[in-house]
Chains A and B, each alone.
Chain A
Amino acid sequence: MAKIGIMSFAHMHAEAYAASVNRRSDAQLVAVWDDDPKRGADAAKRHNTRFVDDLDAFLDSGLEGVVITSENVKHRELTERAAAAGLWVLSEKPLATTIEDGKAMIEACRSAGVGLGTAFPCRYIPSIQAVRAELEAGKYGDIYAVTCTNNGQFPGGWFGVEALSGGGATMDHTVHVADLLRWMLGKEFVSVYCENGHLMGRDTALDDVGVLHLEMDGGTIVSHIASWNRAKSFPTWGDVTMEFVGEKGVVEVDAFNQKLNVYDDRTMRAQWAYWGGDPDLGLVSDFIESVNERREPAITGEDGFRALEVTVAAYKSAASRQRVAI
């Protein structure tokens, strides 16, 4: 029975992770800690667990693993504290906002002998898994080019504050797809060119749209759009899409295009309701099993770090207007 705690409900994904822990019979949501006591106490009540105000007391409350869903820049400190207490860590993406922090998190967990996972639930989307299997089986032959998007609505709050988020849309919406590309193609990134800026008028000073041109091992060319360009009235939060151009064919994945079109007079807004899988449950289940089996999570800290490298290089490129090696 994995005893799990959640550190901070600053990130909205904490909701789904907490609910996923509670759905597992091999895990128990033991406690919530949050540096915002009201937010933490409310969340604990919602998820039928207790709120522990004091961080030391939380870490000493019989936990085996923690899910860290704080603001991006706090991942490092919380990971170091959890690792020092001997706890397994699942960090929300991006793993960190700087190379230094990412390395420190990996090192902290390695030296403490605990597992470190990065929350990339997109690996658990059924359409993504199906296409990965086809790519691996060689159905499309060599992949020459890929064009991707991770568009979204502006999440607001701390996401728009650099001191907490470490960056804007490029920080928020690059790593999911960077990770999928590595995982689906089995290749690493070589270089990036990025154009980004605060162009969409979102309520932040940070970049709200970014376009990345990437190269991977073997010369695969990739473009990716990382954005908060979706209108408030758009029928859903955003998307993850990838078009693979290969030797034997082309395959397009619109990962959340398993949807109902919903027309609700109470909201006067058309909406898309996703009915596909439950990627968050897949992610959390692997973490729980990794805690119970005392093994590395399937998606490691190293995976989070590789995706972070792309983001950091993208910001460097946008500032220098040059292609940057990864």
Chain B
Amino acid sequence: MRLAVIGCGGMGTIHASLAARCGFEVVACGDSRLDKAKALAEQHNAEAADDCLALVKRPDVEVVAVATPTPTHGAYVRAAAEAGKHVFCEKPFTRTPEEGEETLAAVKRSGVKLLVGHVVRYFQEFEAIRERVQNGSIGKVGFVKTYRGGIYPRGEGAWFHDYAQSGGVVFDSSIHDLDWIRYVFGNPTRVYCQALQRSDPLDYGMVTMWFDQGLITHTIGTWAHPGGFRVKVEVCGDQGMVTLDSKEAPISAMMRETAGGGPSMIVPGSPVPVSPYQLEWEDFAAWMRDGRTPRVQPEDAVWAVRIAHGALESARTGAPVAL
């Protein structure tokens, strides 16, 4: 299928190459910064454009991948849906739950397929934890803790640094864990959050959710570390526990010299046969090819936005937010 990639930064580049590996043909790359579009287009023998809305509507495009800053997702997804294109959209789906609902309605009206990149659902280690919970091996789960983050993202441009646009670490990064927790345990009832959102820039957030079946979850997100990236998970049941720490990896390397001059930090490596990002595209392709229900359904993406947005509202007001 013929694919247009909108947003040619870090994630757009990844999605273009993985989509290409899963049978999609990258025909056009769009970015308001034409040089970025050209650089990616060149890798895929595609056309480059800086008018992304026009690109979305091109008749020869069948699928659109949206990897632009969060607040622009909705307009592209709606335009693509209205033009009858299937859509892959990076997370978070939209910046507000209201826009999420509106965009989801447009997708449903047009009958196109929408997959939002909640890629943590495709991470093998997270899936292994989910399977253990589902098969009851640790009994009834009463507490979950997740931790994700490291250095402040040096994303293209400064949009991550603008909390109004990105929502900071809670909305942009912890949303992965909030979505995964909901994937495994169902809908939370209320959410409470504290977040730093400093202009240094430096961000750190703690989100607590309550689930009526008798479960509390605590999600820590950091863009406050001077370096590195780490993920930790702890799931506690009445008959056992499962924990995960990305620091415990099979490969750990440290270079005597780096491009910067001095020696490098220890960089852990945990290679997998197929990257979770590719599994995401394989899932999307299988949905289109065989009608197989994908791991992330459109409603899930709106729910994730609703939770993370509720968390930020709680951080602002100091009160829990009902979901």
Contact = CB atoms under 8 A, between A and B. Distances in A.
B143 A227 contact: yes
Contacts of A145: 194, 196, 204, 206, 224
Contacts of A200: 142-143, 236-238
A197 B192 CA distance: 16
B208 A223 contact: yes
B225 A250 contact: yes
Interface string B101-143: 0000000000000000000000000000000000000111011
Q: B-side binding surface: helix, strand, loop or mixed?
A: strand
A195 interface: yes
Given A200-B143, A245-B222, A213 B241 contact: no
A187 B320 CA distance: 25
Given A144-B202, A201-B139, A223 B240 contact: no
Interface string B239-273: 11100000000000000000000000000000000
Interface stretch (B33-41, B60-68, B210-218): B210-218
Interface in A185-219: 191, 193, 195-202, 208-209, 211, 213, 215
A209 B216 contact: yes
B225 A211 contact: no
A223 B206 contact: yes
A211 B208 contact: yes
Contacts of A231: 138, 236-237, 239-241
B224 A223 contact: no
Contacts of B292: none
B233 to A, nearest CB: 14
B interface residue count range (under 10 / 10 to 19 / 20 to 34 / 35 or more): 35 or more
Interface centre among B142, B210, B237 (most CB of A within 10 A): B142
Q: A-side binding surface: helix, strand, loop or mixed?
A: strand
Interface in A242-287: 243, 245, 249-250
A149 B143 CA distance: 13
Nearest to A212: B208
Contacts of A230: 236, 241
B145 interface: yes
Interface residues of A, number: 34
Nearest to B211: A199
Given A193-B320, A201-B140, A229-B143, A234 B218 contact: no
B226 interface: yes
Interface string A65-95: 0000000000000000000000000000000
Contacts of A227: 143, 236
Contacts of B196: 144-145, 221, 245
Given A250-B226, A323-B319, A229 B206 contact: no
Contacts of B241: 229-231, 234
Given A221-B196, A233-B240, A213 B216 contact: no
Given A195-B216, A211-B218, A322-B319, A229 B142 contact: yes
A321 interface: yes
Interface in A124-162: 144-145, 147
B296 interface: no
A105 interface: no
Contact of A196 (B195, B206, B216, B222): B216
A313 interface: no
A225 B218 contact: yes
B216 A211 contact: yes
B206 A147 contact: yes
Contact of B216 (A199, A201, A250): A199
Interface in B45-77: none
Contacts of A223: 194, 206, 208, 218, 220
A291 B237 CA distance: 45
Given A200-B238, A245-B196, A245-B222, 19 more contacts: A144-B224, A191-B318, A195-B216, A197-B214, A199-B143, A199-B216, A200-B237, A201-B239, A202-B238, A213-B194, A215-B194, A223-B208, A227-B143, A229-B241, A231-B236, A231-B237, A231-B240, A231-B241, A323-B318
16 contacts: A145-B206, A195-B192, A197-B142, A200-B236, A201-B139, A201-B140, A201-B142, A208-B142, A209-B216, A223-B218, A225-B143, A230-B236, A231-B237, A249-B226, A321-B190, A323-B318
Interface of A: 144-145, 147, 191, 193, 195-202, 208-209, 211, 213, 215, 221, 223, 225, 227, 229-231, 233-234, 243, 245, 249-250, 321-323
Closest 7 CB pairs of A and B: A201-B238, A199-B142, A229-B236, A223-B206, A221-B194, A200-B142, A231-B241
